[in-house]
Amino acid sequence: MNFSTNLQENIKIFQGIFKDNCMIVFRYLENASDSSLKAIAIFADGLVGAGLVNDYVVKPFVINPSLKNQVDKLSFTKNSVLQSNDIVVISSYEDCIKRLFSGDVIFFLDGYQTPLAVNARFPATRSISEPENEKSLKGPREGFCELILFNTALLMRRLKNDKLKLESFTLGNRTKTPVIMAYIEGICHPDLAAQIRTELSRINTDAITDTNQIAELIKAKPYSPFKTTGSTERPDAVANKLLEGRIAILADGTPQVITVPFLFNEYFQATDDYSINFYFGSISRLLRYLSFLIAVFLPALYLAAVKFQQEILPEKLLYSIAESRLNVPLSATMELLVFFIFFEILREASARTPSIIGQTLSIAGALILGQTAVEANFISVPAIIIVAISGLCCNVLPQMRGALLICRLGILILASAIGIYGVILGAAVIILHLADITVSHTEYLNEMLPTTKGSLWDIYIRGPYRFLKQKEDYLSREN
């Protein structure tokens, strides 16, 4: 679509486009010194600061006495009249709409076909606060917000480095969401940057409202339950990832920033590990590995022991389980499956309800319903303990929850059919699947079996800082 040199025609065009949008404001302007000098400022109410529009556009244009004497009035207006720090000449209709919804004022001067975009943005967003889901005990309290400008600012403040690159993309045919790909040149491997750049450019979708959509669209194994992109709301975590040679992808409208590549051992790392003493950090990390094993294998091992390999149970435990299962009508498999579903419904319900009611709901669900189910012989006590422990261990690894659920269910079904051999088979399938995943030229399990002595310090434990490698070789081969 082309604009006209006639101001009235341009107004008609815009009024036609936004006839059903009450938030688009058309402000007619006339120069006080020369009433023939007319202009219009078009902006979206709420995205611009009212005072900023007055100060940057309205007042300077209306009261300027020398504009009438200029030959190239548009150029003079851009360079000497309007007061904003960011004024650009718009070349296309698409750019004009994008700028308008980003909070710029579209300024048409009568007699000129090309409009100006004047930055008078007033960022309406919540303040920077600590992420609810990634609280840190001793680390920084800052978290990303929904505004991409703030998020990039938080990153730049942490990485005062001329090698920090922030490449801009616009994704979503309808949403035109600004997306930024951040990396540190010299640390990030150029092939990795080129690959992500290509993958982002290939995205062809109507709407991008969340980084998780981008994560799914660029995922190495689209049908795998395991993540190949990291996700965090913490600027310090993203800064650390960039320093390791990874790439961060930020999108406007979401505080979640994704990092690529995401390897299996990252599930077990937490920002807090680096904020506390390395002994405690190491113990926490080992506990996370243990939680993973318990969450995936404990229910299946219980089932195998109860149904097939009772020999592995100590005598007293055997009697205890046998006694508690005596009057339970459901089979051990059904008992676990039913209670797992119940547990997940409970978790979903408490997550979706307001926090205070959610807590009450969890307690009521866990205590009252669990107790009643046992008393009614609907479920045995060991099954409740197994499901509860397994569920708790799932919560230790919130990023892996979906994968844990699927793995646990799969191994549970195998164990119910062939006992301990099912558990072994399930474990083998999981390991084979994980070994099969390659994320941006890097094996998913690469860090789990490190080839260099130094890299061992930050995998299964959090070693002292003096031993930690600052840059990972396989991600930053150039360096």
Partner 1 sequence: MLHFMKIGWILPAIFLCLLQTGCSSETELGNTTIVSGLFLDYSTQESKYHLVAEIVDMTEKSEKSPDSKNKLSVLANTVDQAFFNLKKQVSSPLYFSHAKLIILGESLQEISLKPALQYLMQQPKINSDIPLVATDISATEFLETDLSCKDIYEQLAKDDEQTFKLYQIPFLDSKSYVLPRISFGENGVEEQSQALFSIHKIQEVFQGEDWVIYLILTKKCPETIWHVPSGNIILQEAKSTRILQDDTLFIHCNIVVEGYLLDTVSEKNIEALKHEITHSLTQKTTAFFHRLTSVEKIALFGNTKYSNIEKINCDFQVEIQNNVAR
Q: What is the dihedral of CA 458, 464, 465, 468, to 10 degrees?
A: -30
List for the chain the helix, strand, coil content (%; round to 5): 50, 15, 35
Among 88, 128, 298, 318, binds partner 1 (CB under 8 A): 318
Among candidate residues 91, 67, 68, the one with its CA nearest the CA of residue 80: 67
Closer to partner 1 by Cβ: residue 361 or 374: 374
Of 50-58, 115-123, 301-309, 405-413, which part binds partner 1 (CB under 8 A)? 301-309
Residue 172 or 382 having the CB closest to partner 1: 382
Nearer to partner 1, 172 or 422 (CB): 422
The least CB distance from residue 426 to partner 1, in Å, is: 10
Residues 328, 384: Cα–Cα separation, whole Å:
13
429 near partner 1 (CB under 8 A): yes
Q: Name, in order, each residue with C-beta under 8 angstroms of 151's C-beta and a sequence gap of 6 or more.
A: 144, 145, 235, 250, 255, 257
- The token pair that represents 454 in the structure block: 């130094």
Indicate whether 417 belongs to the interface with partner 1 (CB under 8 A). yes
- Window of 183-191, 204-212, 310-318, 449-457 that interacts with partner 1 by CB under 8 A: 310-318
Inter-residue contact 80 to 51 (CB < 8 Å): no
Exactly one of 10, 282, 324, 446 binds partner 1 (CB under 8 A); which one? Answer: 324
Does 331 bind partner 1 (CB under 8 A)? Our answer is yes
Closest CB to partner 1 among residues 409, 417 = 417
**Dihedral in degrees, nearest 10, Cα atoms 110, 122, 46, 180:** 90
- Of residues 436 through 475, those in contact with partner 1 by CB under 8 A are 436
The smaller minimum CB distance to partner 1, of residues 285 and 325, is found at: 325
Distance CA 188, CA 422 (A): 42
Structure tokens at 213: 């959509």
Q: How far is the CB of 302 from partner 1 (least distance, A)?
A: 10
Task: Give the interface segment with partner 1, choosing from 1-9, 58-66, 222-230, 328-336 (CB under 8 A).
Answer: 328-336
- Residue 285 to residue 180: CA distance in whole angstroms: 31
- The region of 187-195, 317-325, 448-456, 469-477 touching partner 1 under the rule CB under 8 A is 317-325
Which of 68-76, 143-151, 414-422, 459-467 is the region at the interface with partner 1 (rule: CB under 8 A)? 414-422
Other CB atoms within 10 A of residue 316 CB? 8
Interacting positions 388-407 with partner 1 (CB under 8 A): none
Candidates 76, 169, 421, 460; binder of partner 1 (CB under 8 A) is: 421
Q: Check binding of 306 to partner 1 (CB under 8 A).
A: yes
CA-nearest of 193, 214, 192 to 202 is 214
CA–CA separation, 470 and 139 (whole Å) = 19
Torsion (CA) 396, 399, 400, 406 in degrees, nearest 10:
110
298 counts as binding partner 1 under rule CB under 8 A: no
418 binds partner 1, rule: CB under 8 A:
yes
Beta strands in 268-359 (DSSP E): none
Question: How many Cβ atoms sit within 10 Å of the Cβ of residue 235?
Answer: 26
Contact region with partner 1 (CB under 8 A), list: 152-160, 210-218, 223-231, 305-313: 305-313
Separation CA 336–CA 380 (nearest Å)? 10
Q: In angstroms, give the least distance from the CB of 297 to partner 1.
A: 16
Nearer to partner 1, 166 or 417 (CB): 417
Question: Helix or strand or coil: residue 32?
Answer: coil
Residue from 64, 259, 269, 380 in contact with partner 1 (CB under 8 A) = 380
Stretch that binds partner 1, among 38-46, 199-207, 260-268, 315-323 (CB under 8 A): 315-323
Q: How many CA atoms lie within 13 A of 31 on its CB side?
A: 21
Residue 230, strand partner residues: 259
**Contact residues for partner 1, defined by CB under 8 A:** 306-308, 310-311, 313, 315, 318-319, 321-326, 328, 331-332, 380, 417-419, 421-422, 424-425, 428-429, 432, 436
